[in-house]
């Protein structure tokens, strides 16, 4: 057995913590299990427990070499059926390690089953088809926070337990300016882009409560995710490189006990190529990984608008540590699809270093999307370069204050964070009816920013031993409307 795919052992305490399933809907805005007054550990004590108890899946290490089932290591022939045959053979025996050896392999969608480790060997490259037809039949998925049946993600697991993607090889999505990306970038001749008609229709279906089974398109123009785990648990992604993604790269949805470790996420050019997006997922650790993305490096989500509130499952207990982040819209982002709430996010010991990284910590929402975010901890993060705002919490995202679902953001703790450059040190803009509240920043420096702070409707901002452009702050600030 490899050193990283180990028998999963849970303490009695952790077993109790997992007794409440992530799949049990709860009304958006309900207090989380970790509400004050309960015995649940708080703050960094909780982060330490999450790190300890989120453990790799238990997968038999019987090897199944895909070339034994007809996969072509020269890349001249399609290997989709051969890879599927190897997965089926391993599954029939109770699980195993499906090995992609050295070589170049071309494939369509890969569907993982329970107790399967897909191992991409060091000298292996798996190149995914550029033909949308190779990702049909449609599967149940989420697209920008809304459920539907759409193209299969390139690697997909649904209702699976104990699944892994490992190895030092490369997964190449082969998205480029002629495949997948144009749907987001090229004009449809009617004021939008190619995907606009289907995107708008999907949002309308969700608003109208159309059953998910009926949400299907002929010739869909909604790009698939690269890797998606849907309603699954005990998940590991380790050591692999993902590149050239059609959109979101690693996307656990309604899933639990997830580890992303030492993964390279390299897709800085394509639109919406977020690195890791836990959505309505619980107990997630993202560590030791490298991000260079065309959108957010990490974006924590919980569904969009009516669909997010219908499902009503938050993302919670997310620990992010010892990663490096280069280009992207945000290093650690929450939103904008966060209608089902987000609780307990911890980020520490990350390095965010690029003038093309727009923000270090970002929370984005509005009163159309709504949602509650609380208990966000951000410490010991080093930011040698930043392009925009170091800390940005914004209720004016996209539609702004145009809905009936007022968001709540509170209990944000920032400590020992040091940055150089950028447009703003702090950019915090809430609503009069719902100020951003209880933000504490301690022992931090924000140097060489264009504007130290822009604050609108902020209550109880604690600055404790904070320096911004060499001005020292030890004070509590309440801010009203912008002047």
SS3 content of the chain, % helix, strand, coil (to 5): 15, 40, 45
pLDDT in tens, 187-226: 999 999 999 999 999 999 999 999 999 999 999 999 999 9
Mean pLDDT of 22-39: 45
Count, residues in the chain: 483
pLDDT in tens, 1-22: 443 443 333 333 333 333 333 3
Tokens representing 147 are 């459920």
pLDDT of residue 38: 55
Contact, 194 vs 221, CB < 8 A? yes
Q: What is the mean pLDDT of the chain?
A: 93
316 pLDDT above the threshold of 50:
yes
pLDDT of residue 34: 46
Tokens representing 349 are 């010991």
Strand partners, 229: 157, 252
How many Cα atoms sit within 13 Å of 425 on the Cβ side? Answer: 23
pLDDT in tens, 97-123: 999 999 999 999 999 999 999 999 999
Contact, 429 vs 393, CB < 8 A? yes
415 pLDDT above the threshold of 70:
yes
The domain 50-138+154-173+227-479 is placed in CATH, from the list 1.20.950.20, 2.160.20.10, 2.60.120.260, 3.40.190.10, at 2.160.20.10
Q: 40: pLDDT confidence band, cut at 50, 70 and 90?
A: confident
Phi and psi, residue 273, nearest 5°: -85, 60
Helices marked H in 305-434: 305-311
Q: Phi/psi class of residue 209: alpha, beta or left (left: φ > 0; alpha: ψ in -120 to 50)? A: left
Contact, 109 vs 152, CB < 8 A? yes
| DSSP category for residue 30 | P
36 pLDDT above the threshold of 60:
no
Q: 353: pLDDT confidence band, cut at 50, 70 and 90?
A: very high
pLDDT in tens, 374-395: 999 999 999 999 999 999 999 9
Burial category of 323 from C-beta neighbours within 10 Å (exposed 0-12, middle 13-18, buried 19 and up) = buried
**Better-scored residue on pLDDT, 18 or 465:** 465
pLDDT in tens, 255-313: 999 999 999 999 999 999 999 999 999 999 999 999 999 999 999 999 999 999 999 99
Q: Residue 204 belongs to what H/E stretch?
A: helix 196-208
């Amino acid at each position: 057995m490899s050193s990283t795919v180990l028998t999963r052992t849970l303490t009695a305490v952790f077993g109790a913590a997992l007794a409440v399933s992530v799949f049990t809907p709860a009304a958006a805005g309900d207090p989380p299990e970790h509400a004050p007054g309960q015995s649940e550990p708080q703050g960094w004590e909780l982060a330490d427990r999450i790190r300890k108890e989120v453990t790799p899946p238990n997968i038999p290490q019987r090897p199944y070499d895909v070339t034994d089932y007809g996969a072509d290591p020269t890349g001249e022939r399609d290997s989709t059926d051969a890879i599927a045959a190897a997965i089926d053979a391993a599954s029939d025996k109770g699980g195993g390690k499906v090995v992609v050896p050295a070589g170049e392999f071309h494939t369509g969608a890969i569907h993982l089953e329970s107790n399967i480790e897909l191992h991409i060997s060091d000298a292996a490259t798996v190149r995914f088809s550029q033909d949308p037809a190779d990702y049909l039949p449609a599967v149940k998925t989420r697209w920008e926070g809304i459920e539907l049946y759409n193209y299969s993600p390139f690697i997909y697991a649904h209702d699976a337990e104990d699944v892994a993607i490992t190895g030092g090889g490369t997964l190449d999505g082969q998205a480029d300016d002629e495949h997948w990306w144009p749907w987001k970038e090229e004009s449809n001749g009617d004021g939008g882009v190619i995907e606009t008609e289907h995107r708008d229709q999907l949002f309308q279906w969700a608003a109208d409560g159309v059953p998910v089974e009926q949400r299907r398109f002929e010739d869909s123009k909604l790009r698939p995710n690269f890797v998606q785990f849907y309603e699954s648990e005990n998940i590991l992604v380790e050591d692999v490189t993902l590149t050239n993604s059609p959109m979101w790269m690693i996307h656990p949805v309604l899933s639990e006990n997830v580890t992303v470790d030492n993964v390279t996420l390299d897709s800085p050019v394509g639109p919406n190529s977020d690195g890791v997006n836990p959505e309505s997922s619980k107990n997630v650790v993202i560590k030791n990984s490298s991000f260079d993305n065309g959108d957010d490096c990490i974006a924590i989500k919980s569904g969009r608008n009516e669909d997010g509130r219908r499902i009503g499952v938050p993302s919670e207990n997310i620990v992010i540590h010892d990663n490096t982040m280069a280009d992207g819209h945000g290093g650690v982002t929450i939103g904008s699809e966060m209608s089902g709430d987000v609780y307990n996010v911890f980020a520490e010991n990350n390095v965010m270093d690029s003038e093309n990284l727009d923000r270090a910590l970002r929370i984005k929402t509005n009163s159309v999307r709504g949602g509650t975010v609380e208990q966000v901890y951000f410490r010991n993060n080093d930011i040698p370069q930043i392009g925009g705002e170091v800390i940005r919490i914004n209720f004016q995202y996209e539609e702004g204050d145009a809905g009936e679902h007022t968001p709540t953001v509170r209990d944000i703790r920032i400590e020992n964070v040091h940055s150089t450059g950028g447009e703003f040190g702090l950019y915090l803009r809430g609503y009069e009816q719902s100020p951003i509240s209880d933000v504490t920043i301690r022992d931090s420096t924000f140097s060489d920013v264009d504007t130290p702070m822009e604050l609108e409707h902020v209550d109880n901002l604690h600055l404790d031993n904070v320096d911004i452009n060499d001005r020292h702050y030890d004070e509590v600030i309440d801010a009203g409307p912008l002047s």
